[in-house]
Amino acid sequence: MNIQPAALHDFYKADHRRQYPEGTQQVVSNFTPRGSRLEGVNHMVWFGLQYFIKEYLIKQWNEGFFQRPKAEVVGKYKRRMDNALGKDMVSMDHLEQLHDYGRMPLEILGLPEGTLVPMGVPPFLIFNLEREPWAFWLVNYMETLLSCVVWMASNSATIAHEYRKIFEEYAILTGCDPELTQFQGHDFSFRGMPGVEAACMSGAAHLLSFVGTDTVPAIDFLEEYYGADSDKELVGVSVPATEHSVMCMGTKADEIGTFRRLMSIYPTGILSVVSDTWDYWKVLTETLPQLKEEILARDGKLVIRPDSSPKTPLEIICGDPEAPLGSPEELGSVRLLWYTFGGTVNDRGYKMLDEHIGLIYGDSITRDLAQAINERLMDMGFASLNWVAGIGSFTYQYNTRDTFGSAMKATYGVVNGEPREIFKDPKTDSGLKKSAKGLIAVFRGEDGELYKKDQATWDEVELCEFEAIFTDGKLVREFTLAEIRKTLADARGEAIRNANHLTHAIQ
């Protein structure tokens, strides 16, 4: 799209400049996750601001505004405002002044990306430079764009982190290496996301906690905006895999021939084959046993992929207790694969399928289902790493800005040299929309938890956990994928160490 950056806002933002009190010199706003709609999730993974700064505050504003003739960009914006709000309803002198300045006279102070932010704690403040009081209007003018771009990246990063926590916990409980769970969640969401930007941001957020992905441009996104380098680090990986059209073209009558042909094309490494095009249980009880010796002789792993179920993935993977006793449906995929291929028993007594065979479920997985599947596998005596979750848009798209109540609000301003603490507290609201008051500082308590202090002083803001991220048109602090992953890994490790049930289980 070629949208002028000056127009990336709601119409009602256009003339707020005149609505503030005369003499307004500074506006300070914050972005805060105000509450969680996800059960058991009380922290948001902070992610996406660096992309916003690089792509919008720097690239798009420079290329689409500052580096173009003033008459052109101002005239284009005036036409849009005149046509929609009325001729000369919005004056253009503030945009002309901004163009003359040549860059964004804003400052952003924030927490490191990858930080686990408690609900109610802001991950960043944004305000106009004190020496540029004329630019006060620009702060909340950016609210629409900031809110639009940033929330989903943090949502998806948080959800991926929650999946990874589940997988790591059960890996430890069932005697597996928790580091291997980085491969246990695979991103299948690209086709179900609302646009390429959303797919890239959400896919990149997934890769903060996992490395498995089918969203190719998510890797490009992390290389362009987060200092990743797939030549030097494991950013994202995938495997050769079939789709139903491949299986259908091979014909139902010769499905076993399709399996053989695929294994000849890919004699080594991981190969994923969708196996429920016709009769999934027949594949597990007839086709795979016939191919057993060929599969075990292959230098790699054949991964079986079901992606449909009359109930849920839980029954397909672990068995349906309501199905006839001894039937394939009652036994489930993992047990059927074990009966055919066998495997090993680890030091904690849990079964692990032979390394030549595996299982991935690629549809309708949720956090609750991932938890239930791992729990059932453990009860059955199987290690949690016997399956991989295909995590798709059913997980990453069924969320909104309200999932964490994410909002940007002004809480402090200066009018004619007088500081003003501002806040809102609607009597008709449940309390979620009650804002902090005045300047906000974020500190870390003795327990390691972040907390906010409102009505703070500038000295407290400067000494708190915030770092200078963006100043006067420049990104001054950059976070890499490696840094963000380490921040999250440290947080997960701490959470697992503090989990009583895991402590007792490991003992």
- Residues 363-377: pLDDT tens digits? 789 999 999 999 999
Helix (H) or strand (E) holding 260, with range, is helix 255-265
CATH number at residue 391: 3.20.20.70
> 341 with 310, same domain?
yes
Name which of 197, 217, 219, 226 is nearest 54 in CA terms. Answer: 226
**387-433 residue pLDDT tens:** 999 999 988 988 999 999 999 999 999 999 999 999 867 767 566 66
- The verdict on 376 and 431 lying in the same domain is no
At 506, the pLDDT band (50, 70, 90 cuts) reads low
Identify the domain boundary among 332, 365, 396: 396
Same domain, 331 and 262: yes
Burial category of 187 from C-beta neighbours within 10 Å (exposed 0-12, middle 13-18, buried 19 and up)? buried
**Residues 200, 225 within the same domain:** yes
Give me the domain span that covers residue 268: 178-396
pLDDT at residue 114, rounded to an integer: 97
For the stretch 126-174, pLDDT in tens is 999 999 999 999 999 999 999 999 999 999 999 999 999 999 999 999 9
**Same domain flag for 345 and 202:** yes
Do 65 and 124 belong together in one domain?
yes
pTM, two decimals, is 0.95
Asked whether residue 483 is assigned to any structural domain, the reply reads no
108 and 193 share one domain: no
Domain for residue 66, yes or no?
A: yes
Using the 3D structure, point to which of 340, 372, 396 is the last residue of a domain: 396
From CA 368, how far away is CA 205, in angstroms rounded? 20
Q: What is the CATH number of the domain that holds 121?
A: 3.20.140.10
Query: C-alpha distances in angstroms, 491 versus 71, 194, 323, 470?
Result: 51, 30, 41, 26
Q: Are residues 35 and 120 in the same domain?
A: yes
Residue 489 covered by a domain: no
Per-residue pLDDT, 2? 84
pLDDT tens per residue across span 111-124: 999 999 999 999 99
**Does the residue 429 lie in any domain?**
yes
Q: How far apart are CA 150 and CA 312, in angstroms?
A: 32
Final residue before a domain boundary, out of 371, 396, 421: 396
Residues 232 and 303 in one domain: yes
Q: Are 259 and 335 found together in one domain?
A: yes
Any domain includes 319: yes
Name which of 122, 123, 126, 124 is nearest 142 in CA terms.
126
How many independent structural domains does the chain possess? Answer: 2
247 and 352 in a single domain? The answer is: yes
pLDDT number for residue 502: 59
The reply to whether 222 and 360 lie within a common domain is: yes
